[in-house]
Amino acid sequence: MRFVLFGNTYQTKKSSHIEKLLGVLRRLQNEIYMDRSFYEFVKQELGLPFEPDGVFEDGQFTADLAISMGGDGTFLKAASRIGSKNIPIVGINTGRLGFLADIMPEEIECAFENIMKGDYHVQERKVLQIECDGQALDGYPFALNEVAVLKRDSSSMISIHTTVNGQYLTTYQADGLIVATPTGSTAYSLSVGGPIMVPQSGILALTPVAPHSLNLRPIVIRDDCEIILDIESRSHNFLVAIDGRSEGLHEGSRLTIRRAPYTIKLVQQTGHTFFTTLREKMMWGADKR
């Protein structure tokens, strides 16, 4: 098989995991192509004596499968690089929680032996697309987890006039508003009181960040809805964060959020389910007494 490899370039303490992965892939006679930044990290920072079949930059690659080695942040970056290429992503978790990265370091050998046998399944995850009428977005305008509108340069709240499918919903007086997919429901949205949503449930959550009114609660809508946000701010600017990548926009910019025309594909081990991951990561049912 042909693999493209993305990785966290800050985890020098995890070099043994990287060395193990590269050794397993070579033993199983795969082609390995590495993202240039990760390749330079492996060679210069870790000093591993490994030469891939090729090194790539930007979107100049094709593969049967992609590998993301790191935490969920690394996975999100890999997903943004893959975009609509339709390449399934294998996530190896060397980070913390790891809802997206499905394979633990100690499972690398067994997991890839099973992958080579075709013993795995692929799950599709919906993606959000964001457009801005008043200003061009500099970064990648697609989100696997969430799009967040947040205050900037001021302690004052922002006003977020929100319309869903052409119908006025409300004006959020808050520090921000998160539009989260089911994939992102266990990320930023969860930390501010949003609901956990099962993948492929066909819904989105609108979760306010520190709203002025306690009556403003998270709301769940269909994922084929078009959401329009008009933002007012005393500082005349605000932040939009797309899967953690943030940029500043000017007051008066209208944001339109809708479902993207493609999905991101996650490789999951046979027997691994969302509910299993949820129980393990959230420690549901654990009793430390």
Strands 2-7 and 31-35: parallel
Residue 228 corresponds to which tokens in the numbers above?
A: 């329009």
Number of Cβ within a 10 Å radius of residue 106: 10
Please, are residues 205 and 187 in contact by the beta-carbon 8 Å criterion? Answer: no
Question: Is residue 35 annotated as part of the catalytic site, yes or no?
Answer: no
User: Tokens 């995991």 appear where?
Assistant: 17
Q: How many alpha carbons fall within 13 Å on the CB side of residue 169?
A: 23
Residue 191 corresponds to which tokens in the numbers above?
A: 């930390």
Q: How many Å apart are CA 1 and CA 21, to the nearest integer?
A: 15
Sheet hosting strand 176-180, strand order edge to edge: 219-222, 203-209, 176-180, 146-150, 237-242, 245-250
DSSP state of 194: P
Pick the catalytic residue: 53, 58, 64, 72?
Answer: 72
Residues marked as catalytic:
72
